[in-house]
Amino acid sequence: MAKITAGIGCSHVPAIGAAFDQGLTQDAYWKPLFDGYEPAREWIKKHKPDVAILVYNDHGSALTLDLIPTLGIGVADEFQPADEGWGPRQVPVVKGHSALAWHITESLITNEFDMCVMNKLDVDHGLTVPLNIMCGKVDDWPFAVIPVPINVVMFPIPTGDRCWRMGEVIRRAVESFPEDLNVVIFGTGGMSHQIHGERSGMINRKFDTAFLDDLSKNPQRLRYIKHEEYTTFAGAEGIEMVMWMVMRAALGDNNVHEVYRHYHVPASNTAAGLIILENDDLKKPQKKSAKKAVKKAAGKKTPAAKKPAGKKAAAKKAAVKK
Ligand code: DHB
Ligand code: FE
């Protein structure tokens, strides 16, 4: 059976891709950002996913205003890097997973999500930059990728709640795919940024931090953040964060733990965020029983526990409860 074992939330700033391509990652401006990506790369090397479902948005590169699919899915065997005005980036061709992509498509459509099925799709920085962030410079991407483009550039765009419900269907679809596959899901874009108009360059660290905290602590709050709240508090392009809701819902509710976070301001005009969430109940069933054992041990009335607790003992007890 295939399993979604982890979720990755990741910004997609095009200048990060340019810094990669031009070998600028150790320059003073970029070094603190890129240094923070190293632990994430170590994590994914060990995690060894077979497939990544990558929820992202195209920026008028492959999908112009001529045709605006709200929700899409790439079912092809491969996807070429898009020409964004300077020629295609020199990154590996993205290999798809057609069988799983069609399986997910069927589940989504039979569950009332009318997907735009894409047999040909060039992928822009929205997809290739998160891959570089997680994999570095490579000759071939180390896993297959199923692109899931969502329209967040032209109103009306889907709500966080709709993205959430789509993630729930994706989770069930993956779990009903018979092949043994280690699947991860990316939610990309954000965090706070606005790249035009009077508020160009605005960043909201408080909003972003609460968003990252609540991905594991209170994802239901994030699910219902309105478009107006995103644009007011996280900037016009901060609304890209609705795509993280697909990722979060695909992990299931309240059963994740955060394994890594990196937040850096600024990357071009954007607050660059990266978070890795592991799915507890699928990846590490032994962890649950280990947690149970700790709880049980803490609840046992040992002679020491009956004694009035001093400051140190009380702190210890509180630490176990967490
Ligand atoms: C920037 C950020 C984006 O998300 C994007 O799509 C384009 C530009 C920026 O910060 O420069
Ligand atoms: Fe963007």
pLDDT in tens, 180-234: 999 999 999 999 999 999 999 999 999 999 999 999 999 999 999 999 999 999 9
The residue whose two tokens read 């009380």 is 314
185: which 2 tokens? 């899901």
For ligand 1, whether the C-beta of 270 sits within 6 Å is yes
> How many angstroms separate the alpha carbon of residue 199 from the centre of ligand 1?
14
Of 139, 125, 137, 157, the C-alpha closest to 56 is: 125
Note the pLDDT tens digit of each residue in 29-41: 999 999 999 999 9
Q: Mean pLDDT across the chain, nearest whole number?
A: 90
Does residue 171 register a pLDDT over 70?
A: yes
Of 191, 195, 199, the C-alpha closest to 225 is: 191
> How many angstroms separate the alpha carbon of residue 280 from the centre of ligand 2?
30
Tell me what percent of the residues of the chain surpass a pLDDT of 70: 87
- Residues annotated catalytic, as ranges: 125, 193
CA–CA distance from 183 to each of 66, 69, 73, 100, 174 (Å)?
A: 33, 25, 16, 10, 8
Q: How far apart are CA 300 and CA 303, in angstroms?
A: 10
Q: Which atom of ligand 1 is nearest to the CA of 15?
A: 11
What mean pLDDT is predicted for residues 108-127?
Answer: 98
Protein residue with least CA distance to atom 5, ligand 1: 13
Protein residue with least CA distance to atom 10, ligand 1: 269
Q: Which atom of ligand 1 is nearest to the CA of 57?
A: 6
Residues 6+ apart with CB under 8 A from 71: 108, 113, 114, 115, 116, 148, 150, 151, 158, 166
